[in-house]
Amino acid sequence: MTGAEGVTEPKVAIDGLKWPGSPYRSMQLHRLGEDEAGTWLWAPRGTPSAYIGRDPQPLPVDFLMLVAEDEWWRATWMFGGELELYVDIGCPPEWAAVDHIRVIDLDLDVIRWNDGRCEIDDEDEFAEHQVSLRYPPDVIATARRAADEVLEQVRAGAAPFGPAPAHWLDRAGRMGSVRIW
């Protein structure tokens, strides 16, 4: 994508995996940059996202994603739908290359709705996969702890889970994305 400044933003491929490493979803996002929180990525509405075995579908909303090193979560602010923030709980990201991330999703998601409600979603899927996918006890405990801690931080609006940072949204806007916020 080439923005108003004539800069082409590199894309980062994200491969979503289920335990212990089975592919289930892939998409490409634009790298906005890095800061102390992690790597910031952007996917405008309409970006193709593919679940394995299905044709790619366009994203229905704009995504601003934060991938933090060594953390058991990935945060995505969404613009244009019912959700404000969606935090995937999973193993820390593995950078296969500077433009390729692999993440193992562990089912639990922390959600903040636009009306301010916060919750942990997919508890049933997490319980089912502990058995069917044979999550190790330490992975179960760490994912559970991460979900509970993230929920507490999201409810409090604590960094980095407060409102989407304006400077990253401005950067996305300079790339030519439609600003809907």
Number of domains in the chain: 1
Assigned domain for 177 exists: no
Assigned domain for 97 exists: yes
The Cβ of residue 151 has, within 10 Å, a number of other Cβ atoms equal to 20
**Measured distance CA(181)–CA(179) in Å, rounded:** 6
Over pLDDT 90: what percentage of the chain?
89
The pLDDT tens digits of the residues spanning 156-168 come to: 999 999 999 999 9
- What pLDDT is recorded for position 174? 84
- What pLDDT is recorded for position 3? 40
The pLDDT tens digits of the residues spanning 88-98 come to: 999 999 999 99
Assigned domain for 39 exists: yes
Mean pLDDT across 1-30: 80
Give the HSE-up count for residue 125: Cα atoms under 13 Å, Cβ half-sphere: 12
Assigned domain for 164 exists: yes
Identify the domain containing residue 86 by its residue range: 11-168
3-state secondary structure the chain: CECCCCCECCEEEEEEEECCCEEEEEEEEEEEEEECCEEEEEECCCCEEEECCCCCEECCCEEEEEECCCCCEEEEEEECCCEEEEEEEECCCEEEECCEEEEEEEEEEEEEECCCCEEEECHHHHHHHHHHCCCCHHHHHHHHHHHHHHHHHHHHCCCCCCCCCHHHHHHHHHCCCCCCC
Residue 30 sits in a domain whose CATH number is 2.40.380.10
Assigned domain for 161 exists: yes
- Band (181; pLDDT cuts 50, 70, 90): very low
Assigned domain for 179 exists: no
Assigned domain for 178 exists: no
What is the pTM assigned to this prediction? 0.92
Assigned domain for 5 exists: no
